[in-house]
Amino acid sequence: MALLLSEADVKSVLTMPLALDWVETSFRRLAEGSATCHSRQRLFVPGKTVLNYMAASDPAGGYLGLKIYTISGHQARFVVPLFAAESGELVALIEADYLGQVRTGAASGVATRVLARQDARTAGIIGTGSQARTQLEAIAHVRKLERVRAYGRDPQRRAQFVSEMSERIGVPVTAVSSAEEAVRGADILAAATTAAAPVVEGRWLAPGVHINAIGINVPQKREIDAETVRRAGLIAADSPEQSRRESGDLLQVFGDDATQWARVLDLASIVAGKTPGRASRDQITLFKSNGIAIEDIVVGGRVYELARERGLGREIPMWREEGTSAERRGA
């Protein structure tokens, strides 16, 4: 029997503080070698649907599984099949849109915790969608923000965002009329857009800013310009390998230059203290988030456990015949 967890079930148990702890755990396990992660793969039905899938194993936590999602037009559908590491049993099917939003925000929160200046107080955010909300929420949990400037192209959505997020994080969030206004003077910057061309220009960056670039995971697009990448004294990614496959923000600057790619550090190694982080107060740091499966599996495993404790979800019968397929064949 597998436990089917709906979006409502996930929302009832998953909070940002929990996600921050669990995502940091996922990075530590990657760094110590107890967890493994496979990069995203894509299958295309031209002009119709894209199937995305990625896998990870977390033996220390007791689970392995996949993040699978389709994108068709403006509709995306996410699911995490979660298996027990010891038995191979399918223990849960988790609707994973909200899970993905929160774990992506938490990854940037972890990066901000280890890379941003301790005295960072001003944040800028570009984008006002669901991902932008969890980005800002995570940042507010790891730094004592005093002010936030937010920009999005749609004035109505922008106004709704600043009203909602001011209340959620307990910090004044102010709408601004351009990306430049959001960037200039920010100690921490988050770019959470679907832009095809850069919305962040390096000439706007203040010394010592930390940047979380999370919106783009295809080679053809980027939301930060080449000058932003060049000015960054430290670049970290949740997966340097995956960055070389799909991060347009870096690919369009580095190309196939191995010496440039050598600059991209593994965030897990920084989190675990194996690689130094910020070197100086004025150093610009950049976290390139791609979204990796180990975050989904570690967080999904803890969500499953909490849901079982609280009696949430619905049991669904699967593979009810006795014995393995080999036993049924008489092997």
Domains of the chain: 2-100+293-320 (3.30.1780.10), 110-288 (3.40.50.720)
For residue 74, the model assigns a pLDDT of 85
- Whether the per-residue pLDDT at 331 is higher than 50: the answer is no
For residue 313, the model assigns a pLDDT of 98
- Whether the per-residue pLDDT at 330 is higher than 80: the answer is no
pTM: 0.94
Rounded Cα distance, 142 and 182, in Å = 20
User: Residue 193: phi, psi to the nearest 5?
Assistant: -125, 175
For residue 322, the model assigns a pLDDT of 53
Rounded Cα distance, 289 and 100, in Å = 13
List, for residues 276-298, the tens digit of each pLDDT value: 999 999 999 999 999 999 999 99
- Whether the per-residue pLDDT at 175 is higher than 60: the answer is yes
* % of residues, the chain, pLDDT over 90: 95
For residue 121, the model assigns a pLDDT of 98
- Whether the per-residue pLDDT at 327 is higher than 60: the answer is no
Q: Please, where are the H alpha helices in 170-238?
A: 179-183, 226-231
Rounded Cα distance, 5 and 215, in Å = 27
Rounded Cα distance, 327 and 71, in Å = 39
Tokens of 31: 């760094």
Rounded Cα distance, 237 and 246, in Å = 12
Helix (H) or strand (E) holding 49: strand 49-58
The average confidence (pLDDT) of the chain is 96
For residue 318, the model assigns a pLDDT of 86
For residue 324, the model assigns a pLDDT of 52
Q: Per-residue b/e over 103-125, b at no fewer than 16 CB within 10 Å?
A: bbbbbbbbbbbbbbbeebebbbb
